[in-house]
Structure 1
């Protein structure tokens, strides 16, 4: 299993989510946040009440999928999250050793016992 974390511009979330769902990637988590860095677009930066410097609104999408489906998700993200401006975002892919379903205690890795 792989975990994908994608940081994208907030206004691209609906388009990205639509295309993920159309391609049977139904399950993901979305977080809203503020990014700071060299990639900030001066047209969309804003002063934050929580932090004393300029920020750029970002959305983080997190999902865990089968290894074989990673390239398809990356294709969807890069195609539909892209604006061509600074701050289009980043995608990270990490390994997932195992997961545990809280409700049942079920592990996805047969070497681990509940």
Structure 2
């Protein structure tokens, strides 16, 4: 199992989510976030009282997937989330060692 974290432009979430859903990838966690760094689009940066440094609003998308689906998910996010400009985001893939269902405590361990 793998954990996929994608940080994408706020306005690109809907096409990414729609494309993922059309391929059957419907389970995800979505959060609004703010990021800063050399990758940011200078035209989309702003500051606020909460974060005085220049930053960009992003959507953080998290999905846990079987390893054989990861390349397909990455391709969908890339194709539907890219504008071709700096600040489009980042996709990170991490191994998942185990999962525990909150409802009943069922535990699954995965080989890496």
1:59 partnered with 2:59:
yes
Indicate how the Cα distance of structure 1 residues 54 and 20 shifts in structure 2: closer, same or farther if over 3 A, else same: same
Task: Give, in whole Å, the separation in 2 of the partners of 1:45 and 1:36.
Answer: 8
Q: Which runs of 5+ in 1 are unaligned?
A: none
> Normalization by structure 2: what TM-score?
0.94
Larger radius of gyration: 1
Task: Give, in whole Å, the separation in 1 of the partners of 2:58 and 2:66.
Answer: 26
Task: Give, in whole Å, the separation in 2 of the partners of 1:110 and 1:4.
Answer: 16
> Normalization by structure 1: what TM-score?
0.93
How many residue pairs get matched?
Answer: 111
Indicate how the Cα distance of structure 1 residues 47 and 67 shifts in structure 2: closer, same or farther if over 3 A, else same: same
What corresponds to 2:13 in structure 1?
13
After superposition, residues 1-114 of structure 1 pair within 5 angstroms as 1-109=1-109
Task: Say whether the 8 Å CA contact 2:97–2:110 is kept in structure 1.
Answer: no
Which 4+ stretches in 1 moved above 3 angstroms? Answer: none
- The two structures, once aligned, show a CA RMSD in angstroms of 1.4
Task: Give, in whole Å, the separation in 2 of the partners of 1:105 and 1:5.
Answer: 25
Displacement after TM superposition at 1:110 (Å): 8.1
Q: Which runs of 5+ in 2 are unaligned?
A: none
Give a deviation string over 1:48-85, Cα, whole Å, max 9, x none. 22011211111110010000000000010110010111
